A and B are shown apart, each in its own frame.
Chain A
Amino acid sequence: MTHRSAKDPAPVLALRGVSKSFGAVRALRDVSLELFPGEVHALAGENGAGKSTLIKTLAGVHRPDAGQVLLDGEPALFHGPADARDAGIAVIYQEPTLFPDLSIAENIFMGRQPRRALGRIDHRATRNATAALMHRLGVELDPDRPARGLSIADQQIVEIAKALSFDARVLIMDEPTAALTGSEVARLFGVVRALREQGAAVLFISHRLEEIFRICERVTTLRDGALIASEPLAGMTEEDLVRRMVGRDLDELYPKQDVEAGEVALSVRRLTREGVFTDVSFEVRCGEIVGMAGLVGAGRTEVARAVFGIDRWDAGEVEVAGQALVNGAPSTAMAAGLALVPEDRRAQGLVMGMSIERNIGLTGLRATRRAGLMDRGAERSRSLDWAVRLQVKYARIADAVSTLSGGNQQKVVLAKWLATGPAVLIVDEPTRGIDVGTKAEVHRLLSALAADGVAVLMISSDLPEILGMADRVLVMHEGRLTAEISRSDATEETVMAAATGRAAA
């Protein structure tokens, strides 16, 4: 904070003409950005627009292929996140990672605790320093409280306090509000304003446009890795911002066909898993795409896991095409025609060291066997068939799936499940972390599947995706289904209201 001079606003941190490529993907193309002290600056763009790469470049995780990072007007070369942190740049992530068994104070001063004689940790000094930080943020949190059990909002406060303890002059907040309730957002914004008044520069990323307008002074918009505009927010409308972000016909990204809904294919009745979700009932019909929205941690993924049989449910029932499913048995769910594309493709969707062929083959071991033995030829032709249909880009079908890009890995997961010929397809965050082009392909695919009579349940935290693709939107909040909104009534406002529990539906 010592370098600040309010009368002479020079950018504390800037990017000049930065480009960054990963293989064939150009994540950033000649992007420039200036962050001024005492300013909250929004970074807007769709998923895959290059926001994460930009943040990681500022934070010293990536080094630019071309262009410069300027710190106080001087070129800075960060060899890693530690360099950036020492330069006063801190990143607050959506889901902080604290040591759950240590206290708030210990978390903040981990590895650099104040010492007393003989190298013993000075607990009182640690505690007092933490209390002072909380006071600066205007937040009441007991320094001695263990991190376990803190809400995500409180954990973020701890991360911010930690950043302050490093004398951070630039705070980068990557979707900090995604998992927060309305009142928690209000408190976070109070903290952000306090930081701004103390002269910090804040780079704020959010998918919620109204938040950008509430807290930020300027906005930089990225699209497909390129800088679209960097301008004051005053005088702009949400529509202006969306146009800069999307820059294309929305119908192209969300090619939803109108399909007449048929028979009920998936029926979930009063499903409860104690402490996780309660009394969840819904139906999905053949030909329908039903979106499931909600904040992170609202219980959507947990419902999907229980329906598919990964976790057991405590009460309720699930039917697929009129056939009751066995509690906790994925293999019987599969036999009944259910498929689940899980949210974490690396940990749950794929065996990364196995070949593309065998990953797709894993769901067809029974279908392709002959006389009890595996039929390698049948396995290969089944896998090839689906890899080609989904236009997976690979060198050889026998290559490890880890050699593929994220988007192509996701296509392999889809191929693996479509090859089972499911009647009901549950997709959990189907386009998370994949590029815009592949995203549009996945959407086309889901739409085509629905047109073929498959019942699709699509869990997504990407609101435009939900609004663009779903015939109906189910919204979960704190383990309960709080709203069911028709396509015509679904807007960003109605869905978010239900997801944050602001409206009783």
Chain B
Amino acid sequence: MADSALARAVRWDTVVGALLIVVLLLSFGFVDGFGNALNLSFLIGNTLPIALIALPMTLLVVSGEIDLSVASTAGLSGAVMGALWNQGLPIEAIIPLCLLLGVVCGLVNGLLVTRLGLPSLAVTIGTLAAYRGIAQIVLGSDAVTDFPSPYLDFAAGRIGDTFVPYALLPFLALLAVAVLALHAKPFGRSLFATGANEEAARFAGVRVKRQKLILFTVTGLMASLTGVFWALHYASARFDNATGLELSVVAAVLLGGIDFDGGKGTLGGAIAGVFLLGALQNVMSLGDVSAQSQIVVTGVLLVLSVLGPRVGRQISVARAGRRAASAPTPARTPTP
């Protein structure tokens, strides 16, 4: 009894939250150039693409699915944005079109998974390649940089001399929506049930396919929003924008305690994971660690974050096993 109370107190997402605070405090204390408002606004601004996609990705992984095509969808949106801007369309028309394109990309993933029953891992590796290829066809090797300055300023700027980028505010609103959807609405409860046992969720009347189709579509939408933000934030629309971003998103979400097998995790944990990863990347950049090495760190974190909870679980199972060696629990042995 005491053990399980302890286990509940030290949940993985709490651990990650604490770890984030420790890393931030250490960085404030020991990393030159970390603690000033400008660097912090860079940290947040550079982490926002991961954070934006992590919102729907968390819901998707909780329900037992995954979308690896998100970075390509973002890249495709940026490429289409640049191409249409070159054609002379007004930015006010381009952005909604890009978001619509994201909806279509997500819908394609969702239909392939729910209608044809294909595994999302395979489907979205396929569309990862396809969407990126289309992006290159659309824009070639051009880089479009001359977007209107009010948009560029919004995407790259910060409020006065504070550490708060403008773009953080709409993100916080989206975060609130995601938290409500996952943790306060019946929809979210159904997602947890689906991720833990899809069959039982269906038998309880959960409309599993519809739910997943919605999630894939929203993920596509958020990925294209990220693509638009990326092009404006870095003032550059290229076909290879956000390449490899899916790795960071999945690593951050799993780091935040979302179980890869579905059914477990909290958005708080996922967001802590995102900013922990963002902080580490920022610190490494300040320390002149190369981009390639940063990818190595991200990859190792991904493996560790999948491994960590599992090792923890095995230790607790082994402990329980030793305790129960003399008397098996009634729960595991139904009567003959």
The answer to whether A361 and B336 touch across the interface, beta carbons within 8 angstroms, is no
A51 to B336, CA, bound (A): 7
* Chain A 18-69 residues near chain B, CB threshold 8 A: 22-25, 27, 48-54, 56
A236 to B328, CA, bound (A): 39
Contact among A349, A372, A403, A434 for B203, CB-based, below 8 A: A349
Q: Which residues of chain B come closer than 8 Å to A215, judged between CB atoms? A: none
The size bracket of the interface on B is 20 to 34
* B11–chain A nearest beta-carbon distance, Å: 14
- Scoring B190, B202, B203, B206 by chain A CB atoms within 10 A of each residue's CB, the highest score goes to B203
Contact with B along A373-395 (1 / 0, CB 8 A): 11000000000000000000000
| B186, A374: Cβ atoms closer than 8 Å | yes
Query: Is the CB–CB distance between A52 and B205 below 8 Å?
Result: no
Tell me, yes or no, whether B314 is within 8 Å of chain A by CB.
Answer: no
> Which of B135-143, B191-199, B216-224 sits within the interface?
B191-199
Residue of B whose beta carbon sits closest to that of A406: B334
Q: Is A354 an interface residue (CB 8 A)?
A: yes
A351-B197, A358-B189, A374-B185 known; A330-B202 Cβ under 8 A: yes
Give the residue name and chain of the A residue nearest to B330 (CB): A23
When the two chains form their complex, are residues A373 and B335 in contact, meaning their CB atoms are under 8 A apart?
A: no
Cβ-closest chain A residue relative to B186: A365
- Indicate if B263 sits at the interface (CB-CB under 8 A): yes
A-contacting residues, B291-336, CB 8 Å: 327-331, 333-336
Contact A349-B205, Cβ < 8 Å, known A24-B330, A48-B335: no
Q: Smallest CB-CB separation from A435: which chain B residue? A: B335
Say whether B334 contacts A402, CB under 8 Å: no
Given contacts A23-B329, A354-B192, contact A310 B203 (CB under 8 A): yes
Chain A min CB distance to B329 (Å): 6
State the CA gap A53–B330 with chains docked (Å). 14
Which residues of A have CB within 8 Å of B204? 330, 362-363, 416
Say which residue of B193, B196, B199, B331 sits within 8 Å of A405 (CB atoms): B331
**What secondary structure prevails in chain A residues at the interface with B?**
mixed
Q: Is A5's beta carbon under 8 Å from chain B?
A: no
Is B201 interfacial (CB-CB < 8 Å)? yes
* Cα of A264 to Cα of B185 in the assembled complex, Å: 37
Complex-state Cα separation, A310 to B189, whole angstroms: 20
The reply to whether A348 and B336 contact each other, CB–CB distance below 8 Å, is no
* Shortest CB distance B271–A (Å): 20
Residues of the B chain whose Cβ atoms lie less than 8 Å from the Cβ of A194: none
Docked complex: B143-201 residues within 8 A CB-CB of A: 180, 184-186, 189-190, 192-193, 196-197, 199-201
| Contacting residues, chain A, for B192 (C-beta < 8 A) | 354
> Given A310-B202, A353-B196, A433 and B186 touching (CB < 8 A)?
no
What residues on A are CB-neighbors of B205 within 8 Å? 330-331, 333-334, 363
Most chain A beta-carbon neighbours within 10 Å: one of B189, B264, B329: B189
Give the residues in chain B near A23, CB-CB below 8 Å. 327-331, 333
Other CB < 8 Å A-B pairs besides A340-B203, A347-B200, A374-B189, 15 of them?
A51-B336, A52-B336, A330-B203, A330-B204, A333-B205, A334-B205, A353-B263, A353-B264, A362-B193, A362-B204, A363-B204, A369-B186, A406-B334, A434-B334, A434-B335
